[in-house]
């Protein structure tokens, strides 16, 4: 279990390096995510150890100094919701984005093999559009 110090560290790291978001892959599929790219793998491994999620092997990106590897931490669905709930009190910069993640989490998840109701789809769609509008209005 993560200590308060670990959670505060994660919040600071994600506030500076992470992204909190809602995606729409097609008309009916919405999901929440938390991600963070990093040249050093160690902090991403720590996030994975604390909250779950996945650390993806690096891909190379071009920089002004040449090419450098970039690892990526990713948490989606309930893992992203639980992580966001834990770090939310400590966030400063990305608190607004995280608040949308918590609203999405409060709507509830569809169990594997379950059916997405029309009402839940409508609520997710509205929340997604509000999130996009808030991001554009920054």
Residue 59's domain comprises 4-131
Q: Which of 88, 79, 87 shows the shortest CA–CA distance to 109? A: 79
Asked if the structure places residue 137 within a domain, the reply is no
Please give the tally of structural domains in the chain.
1
pLDDT 10s per residue in the chain (138 long)?
789 999 999 999 999 999 999 998 876 688 999 999 998 999 999 999 999 999 998 876 665 666 678 899 999 999 999 999 999 999 999 999 999 999 999 999 887 777 888 899 899 999 999 999 998 876
Instruction: Give the 3-state DSSP-derived string for the chain, with helices as H, strands as E and coil as C.
Output: CCCHHHHHHHHHHHHHHCEEEEEECCCCCEEEEEEEEECCCHHHHHHHHHHCCEEEEEEEEEECCEEEEEEEEEEEHHHHHHHHHHHHHHCCCCHHHHHHHHHHHHHCCCCCCCCCCHHHHHHHHHHHHHHHHHHHCC
Residue 138 lies in a domain: no
The pTM for the full model equals 0.89
Residue 118 domain-assigned? Answer: yes
Residue 100 CB neighbours (<10 A):
21
CATH of the domain at 57: 3.10.28.10
- Domain membership of residue 39 (yes or no) is yes
**Predicted confidence (pLDDT) per residue in 105-115, tens digit:** 999 988 777 78
């Amino acid at each position: 279990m993560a200590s308060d110090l670990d959670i505060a560290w994660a919040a600071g790291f994600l506030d500076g390096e992470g992204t909190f978001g809602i995606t729409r892959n097609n008309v009916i599929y919405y999901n929440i995510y938390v991600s963070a790219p990093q040249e050093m793998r160690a902090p991403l491994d720590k996030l994975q150890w604390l909250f779950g999620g996945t650390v993806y092997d690096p891909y190379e990106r071009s920089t002004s100094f040449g090419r450098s590897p970039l690892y990526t931490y990713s948490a989606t669905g309930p893992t992203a919701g639980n992580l966001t709930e834990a770090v939310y009190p400590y966030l400063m910069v990305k608190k607004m984005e995280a608040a949308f993640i918590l609203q999405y989490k409060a709507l509830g998840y569809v169990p594997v093999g379950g059916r997405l109701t029309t009402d839940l789809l409508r609520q997710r769609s509205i929340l997604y559009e509000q999130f996009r509008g808030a991001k554009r209005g920054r």
